Chains A and B, each alone.
Chain A
Amino acid sequence: MSDYMKRSFLVALWFVFLTFPLMVVKVNTLKNTVEWRWMNMLWVAIGAFVLSLLWRWALERRQLKNKEAESGEDESTRLGFGQRLLVEPKLYKPVLAVLFVATIAFPLLFDIYQTNIMVLALVFVVLGLGLNVTVGLAGLLDLGYVAFFAVGAYTYGILNSFWGIGFWTSLPIGGLMGALFGIALGFPILRLRGDYLAIVTLGFGSIAKIVIENWEEVTNGAKGIAGIPRPGFFGADMSITSATTYTYYLMILMVIFTIFITNRLKDSRIGRAWMALREDEIACVAMGVDMAKTKLGAYAFGAFWAGLVGVIFAARNTYINPNSFTFMESALVLSIVVMGGMGSIVGVIIAALVLILMPEYLRAFSEYRMLMFGAIMVLMMIFRPEGLIANVRRKYRGHKVMTEDVNA
Chain B
Amino acid sequence: MQYFLELSCSGLVRGSIYALIALGYTMVYGIIQLINFAHGEIYMIGAFIALIVAGVLTIYGFSGVSILILAGLIATIYAAAYGYTLEKIAYRPLRNAPRLSPLISAIGMSLFLQNYVLLAQTPDFLSFPSLIPDFGFMEPVAHIMGSAELVILVTSAVAMVALTVLIKYTRIGKAMRATQQDMTMARLVGVNVDNVISVTFVLGSVLAAIGGVLVGSYIGQINFYIGFMAGVKAFTAAVLGGIGNIPGAVLGAMVLGLAESFAAGYISSAYEDVFAFGVLVLILILRPSGLLGKAVKQKV
> CB < 8 Å: which of B104, B114, B120, B276 contacts A377?
B104
Q: How close is B8's CB to chain A, nearest CB, in angstroms? A: 25
User: Are B129's CB and A331's CB within 8 A?
Assistant: no
Give residues of chain A (1-43) contacting chain B, Cβ–Cβ below 8 Å: 14, 17-19, 21-23, 25-30, 32-34, 40
Q: Does B151 contact A (CB under 8 A)?
A: no
User: Are B104's CB and A32's CB within 8 A?
Assistant: no
Complex alpha-carbon distance, A27 and B129, angstroms: 12
User: Are A141's CB and B103's CB within 8 A?
Assistant: yes
Complex alpha-carbon distance, A373 and B112, angstroms: 8
> CB < 8 Å: which of A17, A204, A367, A377 contacts B107?
A377
How many residues of chain A have a CB within 8 Å of chain B? 60
Q: Does B266 contact A (CB under 8 A)?
A: no
Q: How close is B68's CB to chain A, nearest CB, in angstroms? A: 15
**Chain B residues positioned under 8 Å from A188 (CB to CB):** 281, 284-285
Q: Mark A177-198, 1 if CB is under 8 A from B, else 0.
A: 0000000000011011011101
Complex alpha-carbon distance, A368 and B120, angstroms: 11
User: Are A199's CB and B108's CB within 8 A?
Assistant: no
Give residues of chain B (96-130) contacting chain A, Cβ–Cβ below 8 Å: 97-105, 107-122, 126-129
User: Are A191's CB and B288's CB within 8 A?
Assistant: yes
User: Are B53's CB and A381's CB within 8 A?
Assistant: no
Contact A381 to B59, CB < 8 A, known contacts A199-B280, A206-B277: no
User: Are A382's CB and B105's CB within 8 A?
Assistant: yes
**Chain B residues positioned under 8 Å from A206 (CB to CB):** 232, 273, 277
User: Are B105's CB and A377's CB within 8 A?
Assistant: yes
Please choose the segment from B82-90, B138-146, B159-167, B249-257 that sits at the chain A interface, where 4 or more of its residues have CB less than 8 A away: B82-90
> CB < 8 Å: which of B103, B129, B271 contacts A210?
B271
Contact A14 to B100, CB < 8 A, known contacts A143-B107, A203-B232: no
Q: Does A159 contact B (CB under 8 A)?
A: no
Complex alpha-carbon distance, A282 and B300, angstroms: 8
Contact A331 to B59, CB < 8 A, known contacts A191-B288, A371-B116: no
Name the prevailing secondary structure of the A interface residues: helix
Complex alpha-carbon distance, A17 and B84, angstroms: 13
**Quick one: closest B residue to A330, CB to CB?**
B107
Q: Mark A356-397, 1 if CB is under 8 A from B, else 0.
A: 000000000001101101111110011001000000000000
Q: Does A87 contact B (CB under 8 A)?
A: no
User: Are B273's CB and A210's CB within 8 A?
Assistant: yes
Q: How close is B52's CB to chain A, nearest CB, in angstroms? A: 5
Contact A378 to B58, CB < 8 A, known contacts A22-B116, A199-B35, A200-B281: no
**Chain B residues positioned under 8 Å from A127 (CB to CB):** none
Complex alpha-carbon distance, A331 and B109, angstroms: 12
> CB < 8 Å: which of B94, B100, B115, B300 contacts A374?
B115
User: Are B78's CB and A373's CB within 8 A?
Assistant: no
Complex alpha-carbon distance, A378 and B116, angstroms: 15
Please choose the segment from B15-23, B43-51, B173-181, B204-212 that sits at the chain A interface, where 4 or more of its residues have CB less than 8 A away: B43-51
**Chain B residues positioned under 8 Å from A371 (CB to CB):** 111-112, 115-116, 119
Q: Does B264 contact A (CB under 8 A)?
A: no
Q: Does B201 contact A (CB under 8 A)?
A: no
User: Are B119's CB and A367's CB within 8 A?
Assistant: yes
Q: Does A211 contact B (CB under 8 A)?
A: yes
Contact A331 to B107, CB < 8 A, known contacts A17-B81, A23-B120, A378-B89: yes
User: Are B100's CB and A377's CB within 8 A?
Assistant: no
Complex alpha-carbon distance, A47 and B53, angstroms: 25
Contact A192 to B277, CB < 8 A, known contacts A335-B108, A374-B109: no
User: Are B111's CB and A377's CB within 8 A?
Assistant: yes
**Chain A residues positioned under 8 Å from B271 (CB to CB):** 210, 214
User: Are B78's CB and A210's CB within 8 A?
Assistant: no
Complex alpha-carbon distance, A40 and B116, angstroms: 13
**Chain B residues positioned under 8 Å from A191 (CB to CB):** 285, 288
**Chain A residues positioned under 8 Å from B1 (CB to CB):** none
User: Are B112's CB and A200's CB within 8 A?
Assistant: no
Complex alpha-carbon distance, A385 and B34, angstroms: 17
User: Are A195's CB and B34's CB within 8 A?
Assistant: yes
User: Are B100's CB and A139's CB within 8 A?
Assistant: yes
Contact A211 to B49, CB < 8 A, known contacts A29-B128, A377-B105: no
Complex alpha-carbon distance, A207 and B236, angstroms: 14
Instruction: With a 10 A CB-CB cut-off, give which of A28, A29, A334 has the most chain B CB atoms.
Output: A29
Contact A25 to B52, CB < 8 A, known contacts A195-B35, A370-B114: yes
Q: Does B298 contact A (CB under 8 A)?
A: yes
Complex alpha-carbon distance, A211 and B232, angstroms: 18
Complex alpha-carbon distance, A19 and B52, angstroms: 12
Instruction: With a 10 A CB-CB cut-off, give which of A17, A23, A198, A368 has the most chain B CB atoms.
Output: A198
Taking beta carbons and an 8 Å cutoff, which residues of B are in contact with A?
33-35, 45, 48-49, 51-53, 55-56, 58-59, 74, 78, 81-82, 85, 89-90, 93-94, 97-105, 107-122, 126-129, 228, 232, 235-236, 239, 270-271, 273-274, 276-278, 280-281, 284-285, 288, 298, 300
Can you give 17 A-B contacts (C-beta < 8 A)? A14-B85, A17-B81, A18-B85, A22-B45, A25-B55, A26-B121, A139-B100, A199-B35, A199-B239, A199-B280, A200-B284, A202-B232, A206-B277, A327-B228, A368-B119, A375-B108, A381-B102
Known: A188-B284, A374-B114. 20 other contacts (CB 8 A): A25-B55, A26-B121, A29-B126, A29-B128, A32-B58, A143-B107, A191-B288, A194-B103, A196-B239, A199-B239, A200-B284, A203-B232, A203-B277, A214-B271, A367-B119, A368-B115, A368-B119, A370-B114, A377-B104, A377-B111
Taking beta carbons and an 8 Å cutoff, which residues of A are in contact with B?
14, 17-19, 21-23, 25-30, 32-34, 40, 59, 62, 139, 141, 143, 188-189, 191-192, 194-196, 198-200, 202-204, 206-207, 210-211, 214, 282-283, 327, 331, 334-335, 338, 367-368, 370-371, 373-378, 381-382, 385
